[in-house]
Chain A
Amino acid sequence: MHTLLVARRDLAAYLHGYAGWVIVAAVLFVTGLLFQTRGLGAGPQLSHEVLETFFENCGGLVMIAGILFTMRSLAEERQLGTDVLLQTSPATDAQVVVGKWLAAMGMMALTLALTLYMPALIFVNGKVSLAHIAVGYTGLLSLAAATTAIGIAASSLFRTQLPAGILGAVVLVTLLLGWLLSDVTDAPFKDVLAYAAFWDKHFTTFMEGRLHVRDLAYYASVTFAFLLAATKVLEGRRWQ
């Protein structure tokens, strides 16, 4: 119950403020622009290639939006002193963190829902399967889940949005590019770094319409790990 109350409050704050809508509008604008230039306007391509390009573009923007949506989440509560309302309520720190994450996921889901017209255009005018579209969006939501969890963990560490956003972005970039180190390291780190690749090893399969449990498990584990970290930060604050 507390989780849903926190999520509802945060979602309302996103929807009643302008910042959330600015992020949604920016994502839709850039996605549309890239769809027109890299998808429809990039010369003759097969339908599934246009769809893959769309998911690739969308994936990048999902990561940026995830950080932007969440960098204010816990940091702003602390800055405004409203974290007291959460900390003195009978909600556990885990419920607060998950509630915040659900609200951010709600905004991500809304944003992604508003992009559906583009795959729909490909589906109507080309030849792609609904399964490919469904798997691609599953991948985008998985990516969003992990990114927002990273953003919330970063937000739990700071009093203001900007350093939270920067830290979230740094963690994300490290996860994105960490696999490059796998070429210059030995086992077992080589395998770990290769497996941890946030995009190349796990998202490209979704883009291509292939659903693997290992990829879902990877994003679920990243999400869990960072939400747990945020919870521990909140718990630790009572002992500081």
Chain B
Amino acid sequence: MIEVRNLTRYYGDFPALKDASFRVEEGQIVGLLGLNGAGKSTTLKILAGLLMPSSGTVTIDGIDFEHDALELRRRIGYLPEDPPLYVDMRVADFLRHIGRMKGLTASEVETRLPQVLRIAQLEARAHQVIGTLSHGFRKRVGIAQAIIHDPRLVILDEPISGLDPVQIVEMRKVIRNLARGRAVLLSSHILSEVEQTCDWLVVLRDGELVAQGTEAELVHEVVASRVRLTVRGAPSEVAAWLGAHAAVQTASVERTEGDIATFLVELTGDDRERLVSDLIAKGYGLRGLEAADDALEELFVGLTTRRAEA
């Protein structure tokens, strides 16, 4: 339903986004991951209509920016990291104003307003002046303004940044509710949040889309070949043996305790059985073998820093 094709954006000669393509389906929550400067905000701003792409297209239900940018903006709701709010207005009046700006009639706004206040959990604050609200409630008003016109795509840039743990739990519920009948695209630095909220991940590095898929798919791709191996034997000898083994790409000592050492081993493929049998045949004692369990962090580091290491 939302298709991003070969999106490229230059700032002068600097390519902030290079040839990115991905899709977001109705009901899906897609997480955009990447380090600072990876191109996340540029992507979101292009999708929101704040920036024009240097090349490439964005289409929603077949409508693209080039042919009908205004109609496309009607179908998108956008919440930047700092919610854009008229702090002198009351919550309900602000949402009425934004609803009209987004193209709803006065009666459509009045019909939609109670639903939006309920989704954003703002019923009790509807008549409060926005300037007097806490940061968490301002974020919710920001979400409410992004969905008042019932858009097909909601874009949330760092929606939980600055929220306390209770507010994060509430915001998570709000975001899940948003995905009913529409698509949600969000960026976040908080990986556990992405893990809990998103159905699909898109990873950017240096402006390039380097991977996309479900968390399980990406973790399998990147992390299945990373194991934590605990071995009895002289650590330096074992390290040297592992380093020379054909199935091992890299091996580093994580901790040692006497003659027992734990290694983080990156395999050239999923070749665990062969490594273990060779290890035992060599006479070392195998004390433990486990997949690296900090999966999403490993995924994030693996995908976003691989080029820097190379």
Contact = CB atoms under 8 A, between A and B. Distances in A.
A82 B50 CA distance: 12
Contacts of B102: 89-90
A238 B73 contact: no
Contact of B50 (A16, A17, A84): A84
Contact of A239 (B52, B88, B98): B52
B133 interface: no
Interface of A: 1-2, 5-6, 9, 13, 16-17, 80-92, 238-240
A81 B88 contact: no
A231 to B, nearest CB: 15
B297 interface: no
Given A16-B88, A17-B88, A85 B145 contact: yes
Given A88-B50, A88-B73, A90-B70, A9 B85 contact: no
B220 to A, nearest CB: 37
Nearest to B93: A12
B84 A84 contact: yes
A170 to B, nearest CB: 29
A80 B88 CA distance: 12
Contacts of A89: 73, 98, 101-102
B50 A85 contact: no
12 contacts: A5-B100, A5-B101, A9-B86, A80-B84, A82-B85, A82-B86, A84-B78, A86-B101, A88-B49, A88-B76, A89-B98, A91-B70
Given A84-B78, A89-B73, A238 B52 contact: yes
A17 B89 CA distance: 11
Contacts of A81: 80, 82, 84
A87 B76 CA distance: 12
Nearest to A92: B70
A85 B80 contact: no
A90 B88 CA distance: 23
Contacts, number: 61
Contacts of A85: 84, 86, 98, 101, 145
B103 interface: yes
Nearest to B105: A1
Contacts of A239: 51-52
Closest 3 CB pairs of A and B: A90-B70, A89-B101, A84-B84
Nearest to B81: A81
Contacts of B74: 90
A90 B86 contact: no
B97 A90 contact: no
B104 to A, nearest CB: 11
B293 interface: no
A217 to B, nearest CB: 32
B48 interface: yes
B249 to A, nearest CB: 43
B221 interface: no
Interface string B122-160: 000000000000000000000001000000000000000
B85 A5 contact: no
B71 interface: yes
B146 to A, nearest CB: 9
Nearest to B76: A88
Nearest to A81: B84
Given A83-B84, A88-B48, A89-B73, 8 more contacts: A5-B100, A16-B88, A81-B80, A84-B80, A84-B84, A85-B98, A91-B101, A92-B70
Interface string B61-99: 000000000110110101010101110100000000110
Contacts of A82: 84-86
A112 B95 CA distance: 33
Nearest to A91: B101
Contacts of A1: 100
A119 to B, nearest CB: 35
B80 to A, nearest CB: 6
A232 to B, nearest CB: 14
A3 to B, nearest CB: 11
B97 A9 contact: yes
Contact of B86 (A2, A13, A87, A92): A13
Nearest to B98: A85
Nearest to B145: A85
Contacts of A84: 48, 50, 78, 80, 84
B152 to A, nearest CB: 14
Interface string B18-49: 00000000000000000000000000000011
A99 to B, nearest CB: 10
Nearest to A2: B101
